Amino acid sequence: MLLPLTRWQRRLSLALVALVVSLGLATAGLAAGGVTAQQVIATFEQSFGVHPGQRRNHIKGSCASGSFVANANARQYSRSPIFSGQPVPVVARFSLAGGNPKAPDTARSPRGLGLQFKPRGAGVVNMALINTPVFGAATPESFHGNLIATRPDPVTGKPDPETVKAFRASHPDTRAQAAFLAANNPVASYTSSSYYSLHAFRFLNSANRSQLVRWAFVPRDGEQRLSDEELKAAPASFLEQRLLDRTQQGPVQWDLVLTLGKPGDVDNDPTVAWPEDRKTVTIGTLTLNAASSQKGGVCEAVVFDPLVLGDGIVATNDPVLQFRSGSYALSYDRRNRGV
């Protein structure tokens, strides 16, 4: 089980969160693609209801902790302190997409992995990943529209198929992720899935050389998905218990695999996959050795804002990536106030 935070650690964590929130709220009202963070959060609340004190998206989750150790390849590409080669403490949160706290673990929706790295003598570095290789929208406006189109009908509890079909037809950027989710059964465990950065970033090394990258955490346990029979028979909630059981058996590991972009590769659209011939390099290992429920856990208060990067990692102008800080901050502000 995870050890509870000490009073000093909790105060420090909340202080860091408060700083992130203050910076995020400063831009939360700014429009991006004609959509504001307030509008997106309001639509989540309209679609899934308001659950006081909880996240608006990826609401159902579990905590884990461990460390990350970079290998010698990492420093070639980035001078970030998380790639020092020394063990870096990590707080992790696994989750299901959406704002339903009782969403079934068999849902054909993305699984999320939030990571907060805490390198010694430096600020935190965040990553927010999901287990589909592409995202479901190229712009905040398209994401918001898709959220409205897939809103559950109050009578059936499911989205209206004709509304979804019409939206997909008019927004081709939403099709690739939807096709992936339809063609691939949900994962059998949080620990048997890859998780992708989705967005492109730029790494800067000690010589200030820039390299366009995307990355994925690839499980050493191997990719495992539910069979059709298992999907039908699985209970509504099993992912957390399997996470707890697996970490009790021993450390769980993922390799951090970097994909190197080339000039001309798309760097501002997370719905577009790069060509499969791009060079990949393994630059480190994530090890998680403890897990718990999120209530009172080490991940409960963490805001996994992917724009909190520190030196050596630079965000691109991807509009979805740039939009995320404001919505994360607004969601945290509301749950922190118990609303």
Q: Which residues are catalytic?
A: 58
> In one letter, which amino acid is 129?
L
CA distances in angstroms from 188 to 185, 219, 246, listed in the order given: 9, 13, 12
Residue 266: name the closest of 216, 317, 309 by CA.
Answer: 317
Residue 175: name the closest of 207, 137, 145 by CA.
Answer: 137
Helix (H) or strand (E) holding 257: strand 252-260
Structure tokens at 209: 């050389």
**Could you give the CA distance from residue 279 to residue 209 in angstroms, rounded to a whole number?**
17
Those residues with Cβ within 8 angstroms of residue 209's Cβ, 6 or more apart along the chain or in another chain = none
Neighbours of 261 (CB within 10 A): 21
**Could you give the CA distance from residue 298 to residue 197 in angstroms, rounded to a whole number?**
22
Structure tokens at 31: 């429009």
Whose tokens are 């935190």? That residue is: 124
**Could you give the CA distance from residue 156 to residue 292 in angstroms, rounded to a whole number?**
34
